[in-house]
Homo-oligomer: A and B are copies of this chain.
Amino acid sequence: MPQLKTSADLRVHNQTRLLRAVHDADEPLTRASAARALGFGRNTAAALVGELEAAGLLHEAPAGASGRGRPTTLLLAHPHGPVAFGADIREDSWTLAQIELGGRLTELETGEHDRTPRVFDDILRATRRHATDRLASLGIAIAGPIHDRRRLHISHLGWDEVDLDEQIGGDWPPTVVDNDARLAGLAEARRGALRGTGTALHFHIDFDIGGTLLLGGDAQRGAHNIAGEFGHMPLTDSGHRCMCGAQGCWSLDVGTNALVRRSGREPGYGAGRELAREILARAEAGETEAGRAVDDNAIALGRGLGALANALDPEAITLSGLGLELIRLRRGLIEHACAEGLMKFRRARPPRILAGTVGEIGPLRGAAEIAFDVALNAEWLRARL
């Protein structure tokens, strides 16, 4: 519940609602339609928009007339309005992109990194190269849990307890950092296949399974910002000991490592993704051995999804990464295994299992979105008006 007390708060609150509606809309809103959607009179809408335009947060442009009546205006990003940058740190490369009001994402730069925390310097330098005074905030997606938004663990880079405060200092723009799978889920909820769902799950399947619970379009973070390690629940009783320290982890049976191990090869982060792609290709070409490995992967995936659905009752589940291939090749197996893991009384209406539609840039988009959220916030707006 927003801290909202005075009538001045009310104005800011309504302007925030308006900006949020403009940002989240699929197509640009018109002033008249926004007023209708939010329940304002035309007079009030004019006042709200007027102030926002004067503050350089919104730009009005004549809308092409559509039907009878006086034409209205489109609500667009102001050419000098705030923007946010999003960055995605992957295994050996990073990407920086810019987002503006309305959600348009523009890729700015891509680079490689040396798998050490020096990548933060690369990103800072790239940010400096592209930053103008419009930059409000920077969001970074990272492939690992971020304990208390500060301590960073990335097993496949060998980062154990990297302290973010030592990497991101006072000379950075306002910066938020979050887990890539969570951000990919957020992107699906805001712009993808989960738009409008109340309770949903998203899983990004790579070496490992990361995910997030999405409630009302919001990715949950837990008490220490490390929620979402669904891959480290023993949902498929593999019995193997996991590098994470626990035993029988789900992601030992699902993901590229599992696919590689099941095919008799030694899993390793480096070549694992390549090998997995090869196994998928062979399976698609009809080789039985590879097909079996993919089957097992899909079954283990479905089994875990069913178990999680029992506990969390999602309306839909989206997948990204290897999950997209598994859906494409083995949708039936996944759904069947999921149904077997579901309690009987749930089977008539199982959760929809969907391919994510945001694509590979999910973490990047999510990072940009949470960065831009900084500027869609009542406090920020109050200071800017």
A interface residue numbers (CB < 8 A to B):
1-2, 4-7, 10, 13-14, 17, 38-40, 145, 147, 153, 160-161, 197-200, 213, 215, 220-230, 232-237, 239, 244-248, 303, 306-308, 310-315, 340-347, 349, 351
The answer to whether A233 and B311 touch across the interface, beta carbons within 8 angstroms, is yes
Interchain CA distance A153-B348 in the complex, whole Å: 14
Which B residue sits closest to A316, measured CB to CB?
B223
Interchain CA distance A227-B313 in the complex, whole Å: 5
Quick one: given A4-B10, A246-B341, A345-B145, are A234 and B232 in contact (CB under 8 Å)?
A: no
CB distance from A265 to the nearest CB of B (A): 26
Which B residue sits closest to A351, measured CB to CB?
B223
The answer to whether A244 and B343 touch across the interface, beta carbons within 8 angstroms, is yes
The answer to whether A340 and B229 touch across the interface, beta carbons within 8 angstroms, is no
Which B residue sits closest to A225, measured CB to CB?
B313
11 contacts between A and B (CB under 8 A): A4-B10, A5-B38, A5-B39, A199-B223, A226-B346, A237-B248, A245-B344, A245-B347, A246-B307, A246-B310, A246-B341
State which of B7, B230, B344, B347 has its C-beta within 8 Å of the C-beta of A311: B230
The answer to whether B237 and A345 touch across the interface, beta carbons within 8 angstroms, is no
- Oligomeric state, in copies: 2
State which of B7, B229, B343 has its C-beta within 8 Å of the C-beta of A232: B343
The answer to whether B40 and A5 touch across the interface, beta carbons within 8 angstroms, is yes
The answer to whether B223 and A311 touch across the interface, beta carbons within 8 angstroms, is no
The answer to whether A232 and B314 touch across the interface, beta carbons within 8 angstroms, is no
State which of B5, B13, B38, B313 has its C-beta within 8 Å of the C-beta of A222: B313
Interchain CA distance A340-B224 in the complex, whole Å: 19
State which of B4, B197, B224, B311 has its C-beta within 8 Å of the C-beta of A4: B4
The answer to whether A223 and B344 touch across the interface, beta carbons within 8 angstroms, is no
State which of B160, B200, B307 has its C-beta within 8 Å of the C-beta of A234: B307
State which of B7, B234, B246 has its C-beta within 8 Å of the C-beta of A7: B7
The answer to whether B5 and A2 touch across the interface, beta carbons within 8 angstroms, is no
Which B residue sits closest to A144, measured CB to CB?
B345
Quick one: given A235-B233, A237-B237, A245-B347, are A223 and B308 in contact (CB under 8 Å)?
A: no
